[in-house]
Structure 1
Amino acid sequence: MLDSVINETGTDPQWAVLWLHGLGADGNDFAPIVPELLRPHWPAIRFVFPHAPVQPITINNGVPMRAWYDIVSMDFRSRADAAGVAASVQALDTLIDQQVAAGIPAERILLAGFSQGGAVILSAVLRRSRPIGGLIALSTYLPDPETAAAQRDPDGIRPPVFMAHGVQDPVIPQAIAAHTAQTLKDLGFPLEWHSYPMAHQVCAEELEALGDWLDARFRAA
């Protein structure tokens, strides 16, 4: 079970957001943005920010750090350790099951991820047959999209996706993220794409757009 930072915005939350951090960070990384996202009329939400396990990272000379999977090369077609991605997807499924057991329907659970965390949630949704409320993919990409798309169940779920990226991102070039977005669209996912003049980070305009997207999810329910 993954240790997590938990922030509930009200009593008896009926929505949950599971938010996975990037390489070398931890669950505290995105916890401070909750007040920036919240809007007065929203329902109570349980934000869960899990800590990834500590493991050696190949491209960082084997230095141990928190990571959802090992990065074995700089080639985006093969850089993500497939076994590590699968293990993190399984850990994420456990987190989802915990929220369902706590009384939050799967249709009201949103998966968010930045960079490595985003790669995990995107991988998870292509392997998932049970419902989920939506995905928030920030400055990220889908590892090995061709294989992931080919192996996907054609009757699998297609939740709405919010995807945002920086034009000047030196870690994950925007072209890689745009290819992921197109792959998801081709698979029938309703995807909202945003691009900002920033590096590998988030910005105020991005959070405002994300707030609008979340607002639409809550209103639709």
Structure 2
Amino acid sequence: MHQEPIHTAGQPLATATKALVLLHGRGGSAADILSLARHLAVPDFALLAPQATQHTWYPYSFLAPPAHNEPGLSAALSAVGRAVAEARQHDIPLENIYLLGFSQGACLTLEYVARHAARYGGVAAFTGGLIGDQLYLENYAGDFAGTPIYLGSSDPDPHVPAGRVRASTQVLRGLGAAVTEQIYPHMGHTITPAEISEVNRLLFGAAS
């Protein structure tokens, strides 16, 4: 199966001690999501952004039965795994690997880490939730061991119900994550400066 390239930016993987995997939304691109890094406190990070085939990670809503989104969903999860493995191959430990996504990329980010719960540097999901017509808890395993995870979303949002965000928070906490959930009234389907500021503080240690 054709694999799209992983785009890189920031510090060279060969010398970086931390890495951030960024996942774009439906219709977006690796270049789009890499541009977000200008607003993040990650000057010393290697940045890795997989590119989705035809700009979409899977064809239908994240609330569709997972089988309906195959083979796209499995390919998308594999792409995230390849980006994490790329950082690991350059001797960056998992606890120094961070993952971040927006919209469809946020759903994919959460689904990947919940299926591979471990001590990551941190996780940020801008407008996303765990994937499926229901939550398939049997897919999720491991221990986040206190990994900080940020979930920011809007109520209402045209694509991501606030109820799924809240349910995802509970699952992630059950796997040992330190979750910060912020649901903003009528924020819209976007990433706001307030969310960026919170992620910089929670995940990247920037002064607020």
TM-score normalised by the chain length of structure 1:
0.79
Q: Which moved more, 1:23-32 or 1:74-83?
A: 74-83
Match for residue 45 of structure 2?
45
Match for residue 63 of structure 2?
76
Counterpart CA distance in 2 for 1:89 and 1:190 is: 23
Match for residue 117 of structure 1?
105
Aligned match for 2:177, one of 189, 202, 206: 189
- Asked if 2 retains the 8 angstrom alpha-carbon contact of 1:145 and 1:180, the reply is no
Match for residue 199 of structure 2?
210
Match for residue 103 of structure 1?
91
Aligned partner of residue 143 in structure 1, secondary structure: coil
Aligned partner of residue 119 in structure 1, secondary structure: helix
Could you tell me which amino acid in structure 2 is paired with residue 5 of structure 1?
H
Identical counterparts, % of pairs? 23
Aligned partner of residue 7 in structure 1, secondary structure: strand
Structure 2 spans left out of the alignment, 5+ residues: none
Structure 1 spans left out of the alignment, 5+ residues: 55-65
Tell which structure's C-alpha radius of gyration is larger.
Answer: 1
- Asked if 2 retains the 8 angstrom alpha-carbon contact of 1:123 and 1:148, the reply is no
Counterpart CA distance in 2 for 1:109 and 1:126 is: 15
Deviation at 1:100, TM superposition (A): 1.1
Counterpart CA distance in 1 for 2:94 and 2:28 is: 27
Counterpart CA distance in 1 for 2:188 and 2:161 is: 9
Deviation at 1:200, TM superposition (A): 0.8
Aligned residues: 200
Q: Which moved more, 1:179-188 or 1:198-207?
A: 179-188
Counterpart CA distance in 2 for 1:82 and 1:161 is: 27
Aligned partner of residue 141 in structure 1, secondary structure: coil
Could you tell me which amino acid in structure 1 is paired with residue 22 of structure 2?
W
After the TM superposition, list the runs of 4 or more consecutive aligned residues in structure 1 that deviate by more than 4 angstroms: none
Deviation at 1:33, TM superposition (A): 2.3
